[in-house]
Amino acid sequence: MKRGFGSDNHSGTHPQILEALTRVQQDHEPSYGTDAYSETALQIFKEHFGPKAEVFFVFNGTAANVLCLKSLTKSYHSVLCSDVSHINVDECASPENLAHCKLWPLPTSDGKLKLEQLQSAIIRRGDQHFSQMKVISLTQPTEYGTVYQLQELKAIITWAHKEGMKVHIDGARLCNAAVHLNISLQELITDLGVDALSFGGTKNGLAFGEAVVVFDPSLKEDIKYYRKQLGQLPSKSRMLAAQFSAYLTNDLWKKIASHSLNMAQLLLQEASKIPQVKITQATESNVVFAIIPKSWVKALREEHFFYVWDEKTTECRWMTTWDTRPEDIMNFTRKMKELADETSSRPLS
Amino acid sequence: MKRGFGSDNHSGTHPQILEALTRVQQDHEPSYGTDAYSETALQIFKEHFGPKAEVFFVFNGTAANVLCLKSLTKSYHSVLCSDVSHINVDECASPENLAHCKLWPLPTSDGKLKLEQLQSAIIRRGDQHFSQMKVISLTQPTEYGTVYQLQELKAIITWAHKEGMKVHIDGARLCNAAVHLNISLQELITDLGVDALSFGGTKNGLAFGEAVVVFDPSLKEDIKYYRKQLGQLPSKSRMLAAQFSAYLTNDLWKKIASHSLNMAQLLLQEASKIPQVKITQATESNVVFAIIPKSWVKALREEHFFYVWDEKTTECRWMTTWDTRPEDIMNFTRKMKELADETSSRPLS
Amino acid sequence: MKRGFGSDNHSGTHPQILEALTRVQQDHEPSYGTDAYSETALQIFKEHFGPKAEVFFVFNGTAANVLCLKSLTKSYHSVLCSDVSHINVDECASPENLAHCKLWPLPTSDGKLKLEQLQSAIIRRGDQHFSQMKVISLTQPTEYGTVYQLQELKAIITWAHKEGMKVHIDGARLCNAAVHLNISLQELITDLGVDALSFGGTKNGLAFGEAVVVFDPSLKEDIKYYRKQLGQLPSKSRMLAAQFSAYLTNDLWKKIASHSLNMAQLLLQEASKIPQVKITQATESNVVFAIIPKSWVKALREEHFFYVWDEKTTECRWMTTWDTRPEDIMNFTRKMKELADETSSRPLS
Amino acid sequence: MKRGFGSDNHSGTHPQILEALTRVQQDHEPSYGTDAYSETALQIFKEHFGPKAEVFFVFNGTAANVLCLKSLTKSYHSVLCSDVSHINVDECASPENLAHCKLWPLPTSDGKLKLEQLQSAIIRRGDQHFSQMKVISLTQPTEYGTVYQLQELKAIITWAHKEGMKVHIDGARLCNAAVHLNISLQELITDLGVDALSFGGTKNGLAFGEAVVVFDPSLKEDIKYYRKQLGQLPSKSRMLAAQFSAYLTNDLWKKIASHSLNMAQLLLQEASKIPQVKITQATESNVVFAIIPKSWVKALREEHFFYVWDEKTTECRWMTTWDTRPEDIMNFTRKMKELADETSSRPLS
């Protein structure tokens, strides 16, 4: 299929990551995370997240989120999250079913939860009839491609901990946020006191694989068993370890994120030139949200695939990825310009 | 690590499968099983299992088993299985927790459930206090490397269906059984009326990946959602599809299985020559079970790693795999012979 | 404790029901629903709900709701409900945990779900990432004491069935609605095609006990086991059966409901005379919702206990019950009038 | 139905308990355990179990067991229990489904787990593939009516705690064991260090109701919410509190247990006189197990109902209860003697 703007999981494996994967196929390695490659990967994660980081590879993002939430909650706990969060609307009730928590979604316009909103959501503490709010789950960057600023995160996390709550970050595209904010992963996660992180791989150039990162040693024992029980303990664990090691070495993660972000900025810039295109969200990650005329959709999608986010308003999601090329964007926006010209030259009936 | 006899998941990816994997990285593909490679893979499965086969790729064997059991049971159903079955003792209660069924393990000496044993286990039908037996789960080949004969399977499945029960096959190494019996997958599974199959990939040369195969179209709708909810819907689904297509094309599955079985026979033959080695199970798949003197274990494991299955009797499990070489076996058994000579020449103290 | 307006579960057992309970203590009866009293109770239910009604006694309202939802859903199904519904905010995530469904709460101002609202909530049919909406749960009367009209119910149920959905009624106080609408239970439930009903006892004069009523015989088998598994199969089942038989005989259910409703109307009438009291919901069941001055609360609650429903607005919930006496209401409203006089005579500072 | 020997839940409510229940129906009480009667009941429990006892009333025995196990386990934990334990074979997989633990049944001939058996069952500590054994669940008295001696319990509990494990007692008929051993409840439970107790009411003369008793204050917070979530928080909690207060006051619990035990001894004594009756278990509680000729069953059950425990051997369970009368036993054994006479006088054909 031609390169499109459907999702960052529509692209294949980044060549350097694929090469790393092919390099670890020789001979025998013990399985289930006890291999030498897994040990190396763990050390590389510690370089990025600090020595207290404990890392658990899992197969996909739903699993990473569920494993984080399961380790942070008991069955009478609720998780506060955005109404558009992946855990709430794109994981087929996996958190409720596998982590046994209740989700408590709050409305957001830009995907970001606000401190005041969280504060007024904390109700009925100690009331046995009411599932007790225990975790705040933030997506960074959000499903709308917006990014929490450091001070926003700090305010939420400080307050949450004061309230006896925990903070989970769904970081399926976390490196995009780090590059946007121009800070290290340690500054973005560890230093802020995040309790559990879903660290994305698949959407950033890996063939498959995500990592759960936690810092509290008491969680480690539970997660070891929960991962296995959830069907997320990879047997040939070197396959995941090798990919993550490559991703986190020699700034590859930064290069991939920078490229994706640059491509989104190019797309934003070119699309903004077209009067009928209305950008709806700040472009801070690898995605542009825009409303276009409904009549354009079919022709445009034949050129480069993308998703209509909201059928009613024809708000579209255009996502870039590690292999998006400037020519893909120029071709896509050229097509839009053509459609714009057709539209404006069409006589009013 | 040197090649050993620890497990068939200690080896890497078979070169032809790895090559297939690297070939599908170009350009964009839709995700979540809607890509062209997944469609191709499905067709190849249908060639092997018949046109009614529905296939769902998942990440690992625990997940395949859980997905099968979840689709066959309600929460008041029990699953009859062998006491040494993977679902009972090696999946950290994943079936109970994720499939919400109760396991009802029955004792076995060779890993194989007997019809009579199953018949007398069916008790308290209709009694609301008792979890109702609904599924029989057979491992083929078993955890001991023994293989159910066609007539054994037929008798069990026919009886089970007559009782209103369903049959699940844990086929993490199914192709080994097919090659041992010298029959096709269709003859081994479809023609016998198996209801749900966990079809193994990882232990047979894939980097990762298993497939759930079912035949009843009414299960298809449930499994579609259950897979996602269980965190087992791969986003870059071509990664799995390409591997399975290669595995099931040009008899690669047969070649891999034949090689593993031949290596096990060679190991059996050489080990049998050593008087202190007592073979404990029929060698019908890619594994040899044998009791050896306890004093040999340390030195032998330094040469080639393997697991002691039963610490009390020093029964060991020696597993071969697609990349086991005759010289590995000759070296291993030579070492055993040396230890045997040392032992027998050691003066009685 | 003095009689108050806290809840209809603050009152004891209705004398006629208590007497029935004491009458069934002699001799032995088989347990678990196989006793003669349970059979009699079932026949009485059938007189009220029609011959197809299947009845399962459980201990409390949370259990009745969970049992209904569990029997109507698979784990990838969602339940549409009001944001203030008992299942969403007062059962400590029991539906998510025990019925394994996801709740999808919709905002309501009077506790009643509107057809249009439900229609636009049905999204992403067939999308494996999204928990599929399967059940609509309506509370009748609602948590606000409002009552769905027959035509409202009919429109929702007809539409729901056309969409392949099921309808559950949380009828913890169902008889109040039937009396308000002046119709039979059969007209209110069976004739409308309700799929599963939680029929309340505890809040209507029983010592304890609720009943799950379903009409589809295929649900009967599942519920039999689910009830036991949920810890809701009473062993001395005659204790529940006798109470329900008394409740549903000689119009006792109507008398209890009528009395409660009359008391609520008296309270409404008296409270409405006080200018500072602002009635906030239609009084159609056994409860009055009203905003009063915050300064009144303490003194008023010392006289007769009640709950402040909304601390911000001082909206209060005043609930009547089978044993509420006119003098309780007159005393309560007299106290309010005194407080009103004090307030209005207080000089402005 | 005539009085039989079917079960101690076939009898009604003990008159003194019923009277207590009828006495607490006046006026209003707050619900959900905050009423004055619940406070009184708690104090009475503390008199029996010591000041650290925390008590949670639930509706039935399955619920009590599940609540105990849920509070003691995480989802990767196993519970060691007897193969004939109620949790394993009579609760329709409620522990697995609601407490999310795995049961690990061990074979017993008299219902009692032996220390050596438990010690050799503890395997694979720290192995992520294997559900970790965490709780030992003992039934006291057992399903066979046998009673653990104090020193047996002490040895098991001391060892279990040393191993980092917890001990649960299923005490549906606990008072029978205390009376048999002639010790207080504190000596039988608290002083031995039991972690969680299911304290039975229904089978000992209550209309309904059991109590969960724990001693570790850290469990209290969890259980508060778990009880509600499991659908086991009674709203009119005085109904349970009043019954338990009566049961535990003025030695009523002892009187009820003594009577039941005496009746079992009388039955044992009379039945032992009949040569064809073979007593199979020690009679230490309120039940006699005996093998009788198969041909007797029908006639005997018409006289007084009882259960055949094992159809193959015609082992029968004869259970006494608080309302068993000596004349019931004499009539029952007289009938057996008649059958014995008929049998022995019947000419060999």
Structure confidence at residue B348 (pLDDT): 56
The answer to whether D128 contacts A74, with C-beta atoms less than 8 Å apart, is: no
- Please report all neighbours of D, defined by 3+ CB atom pairs within 8 A: A, B, C
Final residue in a domain of this structure, among D226, D247, D268? D247
Structure tokens at D281: 């278990």
Cα of D226 to nearest chain C Cα, Å: 8
Question: What does D16-28 look like in DSSP terms, one character per residue?
Answer: HHHHHHHHT-SS-
Closest CA to A207 of B206, B44, B322, B247: B206
The answer to whether B229 contacts A29, with C-beta atoms less than 8 Å apart, is: no
Structure tokens at C334: 């007299």
pLDDT tens per residue, range D245-303: 999 999 999 999 999 999 999 999 999 999 999 999 999 999 999 999 999 999 999 99
CA C49 to chain centre: 17
Q: How many domains does chain C have?
A: 2
Q: Which domain holds residue C308?
A: 252-343
Say if residue B345's pLDDT is above 80: no
Hey, is C118 helix, strand or coil? helix
For residues A70 and A95, what is the distance between their CA atoms, to the nearest angstrom?
8
Q: Strand D166-171 to strand D196-199: parallel, antiparallel, or no bridges (unpaired)?
A: parallel
CATH code, domain with B265: 3.90.1150.10
Closest CA to D256 of D318, D163, D322: D322
Q: What backbone torsions phi and psi does residue A58 show, to the nearest 5 degrees?
A: -135, 175
D220, D279: one domain: no
B226, B288: one domain: no
Instruction: For the beta carbon of residue D44, count every other beta carbon within 10 angstroms.
Output: 17
Cβ D14 vs Cβ C236: under 8 Å = no
Cβ D240 vs Cβ D234: under 8 Å = yes
Residue B41 domain-assigned (yes or no):
yes
Residue D2 domain-assigned (yes or no):
no
C-alpha radius of gyration, chain B, whole number? 21
B positions 127-186 inside 8 Å of A (CB): none
For residues B294 and B313, what is the distance between their CA atoms, to the nearest angstrom?
8
pLDDT tens per residue, range A151-193: 999 999 999 999 999 999 999 999 999 999 999 999 999 999 9
Say if residue C43's pLDDT is above 80: yes
The answer to whether A3 contacts B59, with C-beta atoms less than 8 Å apart, is: no
Residue D8 domain-assigned (yes or no):
no
A40, A154: one domain: yes
D56, D201: one domain: yes
A179, A270: one domain: no
pTM value is: 0.97
Say if residue B216's pLDDT is above 80: yes
Residue A178 domain-assigned (yes or no):
yes
Residue C4 domain-assigned (yes or no):
no
Closest CB to C128 among B75, B128, B228 = B228
A213, A330: one domain: no
Band (A349; pLDDT cuts 50, 70, 90): low
Cβ B224 vs Cβ B214: under 8 Å = no
Higher confidence at residue C1 or residue A65? A65
For residues A95 and B190, what is the distance between their CA atoms, to the nearest angstrom?
35
* Largest Cα span, chain C: 72
Cα of A180 to nearest chain B Cα, Å: 25
Structure confidence at residue C289 (pLDDT): 98
A positions 235-294 inside 8 Å of C (CB): none
Mutate to test the interface with C, among D3, D26, D28 (most CBs of C within 10 A): D28
C115 and A CB contact within 8 Å: no
A321, A305: one domain: yes
Structure confidence at residue D252 (pLDDT): 98
Cα of D40 to nearest chain A Cα, Å: 21
Say if residue B343's pLDDT is above 90: no
Hey, is C77 helix, strand or coil? strand
B208 and A CB contact within 8 Å: yes
Structure confidence at residue A347 (pLDDT): 60
pLDDT tens per residue, range B173-184: 999 999 999 999
Cα of D75 to nearest chain B Cα, Å: 7
Structure tokens at B321: 């795999």
Strand partners, A169: A138, A197
Say if residue C349's pLDDT is above 60: no
C308 and A CB contact within 8 Å: no
pLDDT tens per residue, range C184-235: 999 999 999 999 999 999 999 999 999 999 999 999 999 999 999 999 999 9
A97, A29: one domain: yes
A148, A230: one domain: yes
The arithmetic mean of pLDDT across residues A66-75, rounded, is 98
Say if residue A1's pLDDT is above 70: no
Closest CB to C90 among A92, A96, A129 = A129
Mutate to test the interface with A, among B37, B59, B203 (most CBs of A within 10 A): B59
The answer to whether B75 contacts C233, with C-beta atoms less than 8 Å apart, is: no
D74 and A CB contact within 8 Å: yes
The arithmetic mean of pLDDT across residues B78-95, rounded, is 98
Strand partners, B259: none
D25 and C CB contact within 8 Å: yes
A223 contacts on D by Cβ (under 8 Å): none
B137, B284: one domain: no
B235, closest residue in chain C (CA to CA) = C129
Instruction: Please provide the average confidence, as pLDDT, over all residues in chain C.
Output: 97
Final residue in a domain of this structure, among C231, C247, C263? C247
Quote the ipTM score: 0.96
D173, D261: one domain: no
The answer to whether D226 contacts A132, with C-beta atoms less than 8 Å apart, is: no
Q: What backbone torsions phi and psi does residue A310 show, to the nearest 5 degrees?
A: -135, 110
Structure confidence at residue D343 (pLDDT): 76
Question: What does B77-102 look like in DSSP terms, one character per residue?
Answer: EEEEEETT-HHHHSSTTHIIIII--E
The answer to whether A89 contacts C130, with C-beta atoms less than 8 Å apart, is: yes
The H-or-E segment that residue C171 falls in is strand C166-171
For residues B99 and B226, what is the distance between their CA atoms, to the nearest angstrom?
10
Cα of D238 to nearest chain B Cα, Å: 29
Closest CB to D25 among C1, C13, C31 = C13
Type of residue at B248: L
Q: What backbone torsions phi and psi does residue C56 show, to the nearest 5 degrees?
A: -130, 115
A231 and B CB contact within 8 Å: yes
Residue B106 domain-assigned (yes or no):
yes
> Residues near B108 by Cβ (< 8 Å), separated by ≥ 6?
B82, B83, B84, B142
CATH code, domain with A68: 3.40.640.10
Mutate to test the interface with D, among C59, C223, C318 (most CBs of D within 10 A): C59
Structure confidence at residue D345 (pLDDT): 73
Instruction: For the beta carbon of residue A275, count every other beta carbon within 10 angstroms.
Output: 8
pLDDT tens per residue, range A184-243: 999 999 999 999 999 999 999 999 999 999 999 999 999 999 999 999 999 999 999 999
* DSSP conformational letter for D202: G
B29 contacts on A by Cβ (under 8 Å): 1, 10, 12
C222, C295: one domain: no
10-residue stretch averages of pLDDT, chain D, 349 residues long: 90 98 94 95 98 98 98 98 98 98 98 98 97 98 98 98 98 98 98 98 98 96 97 97 98 98 98 98 98 97 96 97 97 97 71
Instruction: Please provide the average confidence, as pLDDT, over all residues in chain B.
Output: 97
Residue B207 domain-assigned (yes or no):
yes
B101 and D CB contact within 8 Å: yes
pLDDT tens per residue, range B275-308: 999 999 999 999 999 999 999 999 999 999 999 9
Closest CB to C31 among D7, D63, D236 = D7
Say if residue C109's pLDDT is above 60: yes
Residue D6 domain-assigned (yes or no):
no
Final residue in a domain of this structure, among C187, C217, C247? C247
Closest CB to A22 among B22, B66, B208 = B22
Say if residue B39's pLDDT is above 70: yes
